[in-house]
């Protein structure tokens, strides 16, 4: 398939032919959902912890006699039903991550790229460079492209001025092509790829 290439000023800069196997698939939401779920589970800290009855501080003395009190039979007050007692089946420190085959992860990325292309939310720019590290100037260029909520993917090397100018713009994220991922693409309203990023992606999935 063919995509139009633009400059950061919003002008035309020719066109580029991209692989249908990456940008022309019929998007499958189930694959995208699986990869997003895997990403979010993997990054979850899992540091939540509640004290069990063996971990709370307190005496282990039997506080009421076994028979004759008129109440239930109890041991110590660290049992879950008492105030200050341990939590029954509370959260423990654990890893929330789960396995996902490499092929499914790759398919998920291809399908989310195809989804952006199908929804006309994909823009290819010639390059991501700025003459000076001025946020105001870069914001004006983004407005010409109609970018208010975007993820910009550049090649392996980022222009320093562009990186400095873009980091203060809200709802605009900039990533190298090595860091491209399904979740960040889904979060962004518009995906912006440089020509170098497109070439790197096609090389990666060759």
Strand-pair partners of 4? 15
How many CB atoms are located within 10 Å of the residue 126 CB? 16
Residue 84 and residue 147 in one domain: no
Specify the pLDDT at position 79.
96
Specify the pLDDT at position 12.
87
Q: Count of alpha carbons within 13 Å of 47, Cβ hemisphere only?
A: 2
Q: Is the pLDDT of residue 103 over 90?
A: yes
CA distance 21 to 7: 26
Of 68, 67, 85, which Cα lies nearest the Cα of 76? 85
* Backbone φ/ψ region at 171: left (φ over 0), alpha (ψ -120 to 50), beta: left
DSSP E strand stretches across the chain: 2-6, 12-17, 122-125, 150-154, 172-176, 190-194
Query: For 108-152, what is each residue's pLDDT tens digit?
Result: 999 999 999 999 999 999 988 888 999 999 999 999 898 989 999
Q: Is the pLDDT of residue 106 over 90?
A: yes
Residue 17 and residue 110 in one domain: yes
Residue 147 and residue 189 in one domain: yes
Residue 145 and residue 184 in one domain: yes
Helix (H) or strand (E) holding 139: helix 135-145
Residue with tokens 């009855």: 53
CB 18 within 8 A of CB 2: yes
Residue 127 and residue 89 in one domain: no
Q: Given 76, 95, 114, which residue is the final one in a domain? A: 95
Residue 34 and residue 126 in one domain: yes
Q: Is the dihedral of CA 15, 103, 151, 114 positive or negative?
A: positive
Residue 91 and residue 104 in one domain: no
Residue 90 and residue 108 in one domain: no
Query: Residue 72 belongs to what domain range?
Result: 45-95
CA distance 206 to 202: 6
Number of domains in the chain: 2
Q: Is the pLDDT of residue 8 over 90?
A: no
């Amino acid at each position: 398939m063919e995509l139009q290439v633009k400059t950061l000023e919003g002008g035309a800069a020719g066109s580029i032919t991209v692989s249908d196997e990456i940008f022309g698939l019929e998007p499958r939401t189930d694959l995208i959902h699986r990869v997003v779920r895997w990403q979010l589970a993997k990054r979850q800290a899992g540091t939540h912890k509640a004290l069990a009855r063996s971990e709370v501080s307190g005496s282990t003395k039997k506080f009421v006699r076994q028979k004759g009190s008129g109440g239930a039979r109890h041991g110590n007050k660290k049992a879950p039903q008492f105030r200050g007692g341990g939590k029954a089946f509370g959260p423990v420190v654990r890893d929330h991550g789960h396995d996902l085959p490499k092929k499914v992860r790759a398919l998920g990325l291809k399908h989310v790229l195809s989804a952006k292309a199908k929804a006309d939310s994909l823009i290819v720019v010639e390059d991501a460079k700025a003459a000076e590290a001025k946020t105001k100037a870069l914001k004006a260029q983004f407005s010409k492209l109609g970018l208010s909520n975007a993820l910009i993917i550049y090649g392996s090397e980022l222009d320093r001025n562009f990186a400095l100018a873009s980091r203060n713009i809200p709802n605009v994220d900039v990533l190298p092509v090595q860091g491209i991922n399904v979740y960040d693409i889904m979060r962004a309203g518009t995906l912006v790829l440089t020509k170098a990023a497109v070439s790197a992606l096609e090389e990666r999935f060759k």
